[in-house]
């Protein structure tokens, strides 16, 4: 679905971190783990849309959190209240597709701006009175996403420099809380996924479902630019992150 939306707010919330709220003009039925593909400019710079995990969605509003890392996100940070932005979405599958009524302990882990994706899931689980353990990792305090809101949901924090929460990585916190037969839902950088998987492998029957942040061209599966190599029996095949994901079982992913 292609939607013309108006900016309600575009606020700096940390070191190079911004939070954008959009008014889509109609109800948006988004599920935790989905994303939008945003057209930042009508010009050729940047040429392609940019994918952003949905931080929150309610009524006609959609929120994302992004980090200024290039010309596209720099241009996005300059947008003002009332400006119109075109996005496609919600796109992708949901963490909820992998829960299937399980009673296993649930652990949510967000790293960097990937924390936005798992926040949406945490808010959903809280509304359903489903218990979960929540962890956010970042390089430093100023890189933490929406610290106060995460804290309200019982989140534990880890920073590389020790400026907030535990000094170290999110996977270090995981070592102390992970139980057998747990389900982990995570979004962030691939090195974090590998560290989480290593901790998960020290326990019995732990499943890890990760939302991948790949570069995308179209966002709808046509250009095949965002593929991951996925195990299928004795062989592998390439799956599109935008269309077949963004969430995959880490046991099936070839790094």
Res. 41 pLDDT band, cuts 50 70 90: confident
| Burial of 236 from C-beta contacts in 10 A (0-12 / 13-18 / 19+) | middle
The predicted structure's pLDDT at residue 49? 87
Provide the token pair at 145: 């996403």
| 73/71 Cα distance (integer angstroms) | 6
The predicted structure's pLDDT at residue 39? 93
Lowest mean pLDDT among 20-24, 77-81, 195-199, 210-214: 210-214
The predicted structure's pLDDT at residue 170? 97
| 164/141 Cα distance (integer angstroms) | 5
- Identify the structural domains of the chain with CATH numbers, from first to last: 2-90 (2.40.30.10), 95-213 (3.40.50.80)
The predicted structure's pLDDT at residue 218? 82
| Region 9-19 average pLDDT | 95
Condensed to tens digits (0 to 9), the pLDDT of residues 148-206 reads 999 999 999 999 999 999 999 999 999 999 999 999 999 999 999 999 999 999 999 99
pLDDT at 102 over 80: no
Nearest to 64 by CA among 77, 53, 74: 53
The predicted structure's pLDDT at residue 140? 96
The predicted structure's pLDDT at residue 196? 98
- The greatest distance separating any two alpha carbons of the chain, rounded to the nearest whole angstrom, comes to 53
Are the C-beta atoms of residues 116 and 123 closer than 8 Å to each other?
no
Condensed to tens digits (0 to 9), the pLDDT of residues 56-66 reads 999 999 999 99
Provide the token pair at 3: 């939607």
| Region 6-28 average pLDDT | 96
pLDDT at 43 over 80: no
Res. 101 pLDDT band, cuts 50 70 90: confident
Res. 217 pLDDT band, cuts 50 70 90: confident
Q: What percent of the chain has pLDDT over 70?
A: 100
Dihedral over alpha carbons 112, 91, 30, 115 (to 10 degrees):
-10
pTM: 0.95
């Amino acid at each position: 679905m292609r939607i013309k939306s108006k900016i309600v707010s575009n606020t700096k919330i940390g070191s190079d971190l911004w939070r954008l709220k959009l008014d889509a003009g109609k109800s948006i039925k988004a599920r935790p783990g989905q994303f939008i593909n945003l057209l930042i400019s009508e010009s050729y710079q940047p040429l392609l849309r940019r994918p952003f995990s949905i931080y929150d969605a309610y009524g006609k509003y959609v929120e994302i959190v992004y980090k200024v890392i290039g010309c596209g996100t720099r241009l996005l940070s300059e947008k003002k209240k009332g400006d119109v932005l075109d996005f496609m979405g919600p796109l992708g599958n949901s963490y909820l597709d992998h829960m299937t009524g399980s009673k296993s302990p649930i652990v949510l882990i967000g790293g960097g701006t990937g924390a936005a994706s798992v926040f949406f899931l945490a808010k959903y689980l809280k509304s359903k009175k489903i218990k979960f353990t929540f962890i956010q990792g970042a390089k430093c305090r100023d890189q933490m996403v929406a610290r106060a809101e995460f804290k309200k949901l019982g989140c534990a924090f880890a920073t590389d420099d020790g400026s907030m929460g535990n000094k170290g990585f999110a996977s270090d916190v995981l070592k102390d809380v992970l139980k057998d037969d747990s389900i982990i839902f995570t979004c962030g950088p691939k090195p974090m996924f590998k560290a989480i998987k290593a901790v998960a492998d020290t326990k019995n029957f732990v499943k890890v479902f990760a939302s991948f942040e790949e570069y995308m061209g179209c966002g709808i599966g046509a250009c095949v630019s965002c593929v991951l190599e996925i195990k299928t029996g004795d062989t592998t095949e390439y799956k599109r992150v935008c269309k077949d994901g963004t969430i995959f079982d880490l046991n099936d992913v070839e790094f």
